[in-house]
Chain A
Amino acid sequence: MTAGMTVLGVWIAAFLTLAVLSFLFKDNPLYKFAEHLVVGLSAGYWFIVLYNTTFRDLISDPLKADFSSFRLLPQAAGSNIVGNGLILDGIPIVLGLMIWTRFWPKAAWTARIPIAYVLGAGAGLAIPTALDNFVVTPLKATLALPIVPGFWQTWTAQILGATAPAPQLGIGEALSNLLIVIGVFCGIVYFFFSKEHKGVTGATANVGIWILMIGFGSTFGFTVMSRVSLLVGRFEFLLNRWILDSFWRLIFPGH
């Protein structure tokens, strides 16, 4: 990219940043222009990337290669030739085309076949890994958290005449782990609706609410931090790249 193009890019970016920020004052045509531009550009970019990586790479190029050599089956492993043969490349293409039959009522039922395939394969792939990743492994890690501090282990070991296990847990770490265990337990009780939230269950659920509120507060804090980062990033660009690097040098060349 030439220096002139870079400068032009900085000016366009600065103009669009100011156009978006102008919404803080009130809605206006400049803001609308910037908003529509970003939506249009994103859709256009998205279309081109998906066309190249899906239609060209997975459909058009393999089919061209398969037809040109009339191959029915894939080449030997390690071959760099595009295409897996007409049979293997043809099956997903036919399944994909079947989804479009929904536009013709008489043939619409055939669309259920690829949808059933996608749902079946998707569920088969997702359910075991989701359970393992989002439930079983974090739960196992919580259950395995050590919560007995080192001084207690030493003290009981002395009384029982045994050797205290090493490494020993500091009191801060033990409390932190205990808090995680209590938090998980109370949070789960809050979502347990088979028993009325009264008495011990109600008190535990109330602790669960507090734990959830602290979690939401933390998420909100992080969200503010994230948005402020983006805002500071834009002002940093306006001040350093636009005003100092580009604007200033245009007025005072050589400085």
Chain B
Amino acid sequence: MSWKALAAVDRRVIFVILIAGILLPMVFPLKMPIAVTPEVQSVYDRIESLQKGDTIMMTMEYDPSTLAEMQPMTYNMLRHVFRRGAKVVAVCLFTTGVSQVEQDLKKIADENGKKYGEDYAYLGYKPYPAIVITALGQDFRNPFPKDYYGTPTDSLPVMKGIKNFSSVKLVLSVNATSGVDFWLQYGQSRFRFPLAIGMTAVMASDYYTYVQSGQLVGLIGGLKGAAEYETLMHEKDGYATRVMNIQSVVHCIVVGFILVGNIAFLMSGGKFRMGGRA
């Protein structure tokens, strides 16, 4: 095969190789080491420092389109919080994620024997995140006089002694939307609460800045972040760890494609110049 033919290979061949790269390690699992980054370690340490009876606020803003990335980190962090004996007050400020979040919260709470209303509460959704976050800063009951199921928020035992952000030990945002900016801008910036974020890998590179500036306690980026969290929780066969091993194989294939594509381009007479292709 000539270099020119290689450079013009049918895209479907690439798809088949990628799919094989996913299926093979799924059938024959690999075990690769997962290094923990300081940003994930920091979130873990903050949750580990929670005492029995402490309350955190969890903002879960994702829908089925980003489930593969968001669900593993949500599960891991929720399990960790519940195992520490802490309580969770959750909200979802993303329209299409409202019932997905309810399912995920209930699943992990049931798995850990936690009771609705006593150990956790789900306040649900209200539109316009900037206004809702500002109102939450005054009193959680202002934007959410009732919870997701229509029960008056005040009647839930978990809400006893909880007024606003100053009553919670941590705000944990698992977020696949631009809502992260709202939590930073209208929440952390104004009310100065400790904020940790889990987000899709696409978004992660934009937010490391805020860890360095101290505006975020830590950051969990995509499935890799979830796998790091599993490593810290000593869950060696967790979902994120298994899938991350598969993903590493796919990454190697993608890097291989980039190298082969560039070599084929150069060998078939192409030249690089600053600002684009020659």
- A interface residues (Cβ-Cβ under 8 A, vs B): 24-25, 42, 45-46, 49-50, 53-54, 57, 80, 82, 122, 125-126, 129-130, 132-134, 137-138, 140-142, 180, 215, 218-219, 222-236, 239
Minimum C-beta distance from B156 to chain A (A): 12
Complexed CA–CA distance, A130 and B182 (Å): 10
| Known contacts A133-B189, A219-B206, A126 near B130 by CB under 8 Å | yes
Complexed CA–CA distance, A129 and B185 (Å): 6
Q: Are A134 and B185 in contact (CB under 8 A)?
A: yes
Q: Are B251 and A228 in contact (CB under 8 A)?
A: yes
| Known contacts A126-B130, A225-B222, A235 near B19 by CB under 8 Å | yes
Complexed CA–CA distance, A229 and B188 (Å): 29
Q: Are A230 and B69 in contact (CB under 8 A)?
A: yes
Q: Are B243 and A233 in contact (CB under 8 A)?
A: yes
Minimum C-beta distance from B6 to chain A (A): 20
Q: Are A235 and B26 in contact (CB under 8 A)?
A: yes
Minimum C-beta distance from A14 to chain B (A): 14
Residue of A nearest to B215 (CB): A137
Complexed CA–CA distance, A232 and B251 (Å): 12
Q: Are B186 and A129 in contact (CB under 8 A)?
A: yes
B184 contact set on A, CB distance < 8 A: 133
Q: How many residues of B contact A (CB 8 A)?
A: 52
Residue of B nearest to A221 (CB): B205
Interface contact tally, CB-CB below 8 A: 124
Residue of B nearest to A138 (CB): B213
Complexed CA–CA distance, A57 and B127 (Å): 11
Complexed CA–CA distance, A126 and B190 (Å): 11
Q: Are B68 and A233 in contact (CB under 8 A)?
A: yes
Q: Are B212 and A141 in contact (CB under 8 A)?
A: yes
Complexed CA–CA distance, A87 and B125 (Å): 26
B213 contact set on A, CB distance < 8 A: 137-138, 140-142
Q: Are A53 and B188 in contact (CB under 8 A)?
A: no
Complexed CA–CA distance, A35 and B210 (Å): 36
Q: Are A229 and B189 in contact (CB under 8 A)?
A: no
Q: Are B222 and A222 in contact (CB under 8 A)?
A: yes
Complexed CA–CA distance, A239 and B242 (Å): 14
Minimum C-beta distance from B218 to chain A (A): 15
B33 at the interface (CB under 8 A from A): no
Q: Are A229 and B210 in contact (CB under 8 A)?
A: no
A130 contact set on B, CB distance < 8 A: 185
Complexed CA–CA distance, A129 and B184 (Å): 9
Q: Are B215 and A49 in contact (CB under 8 A)?
A: no
Q: Are B19 and A219 in contact (CB under 8 A)?
A: no
Complexed CA–CA distance, A249 and B134 (Å): 51
| Known contacts A25-B12, A222-B205, A236-B26, A129 near B190 by CB under 8 Å | yes
Q: Are B26 and A53 in contact (CB under 8 A)?
A: no
Q: Are A232 and B247 in contact (CB under 8 A)?
A: yes
B15: contacting residue among A24, A125, A134, A229, CB under 8 A:
A24
- Quick one: which of B218-271 are within 8 Å of A by CB? 221-224, 243, 246-247, 250-251, 254
B98 contact set on A, CB distance < 8 A: 49
Q: Are A50 and B185 in contact (CB under 8 A)?
A: no
Residue of A nearest to B68 (CB): A233
Complexed CA–CA distance, A215 and B204 (Å): 12
Closest 4 CB pairs of A and B: A233-B68, A141-B213, A226-B201, A133-B189
Minimum C-beta distance from A119 to chain B (A): 14
Q: Are B127 and A229 in contact (CB under 8 A)?
A: no
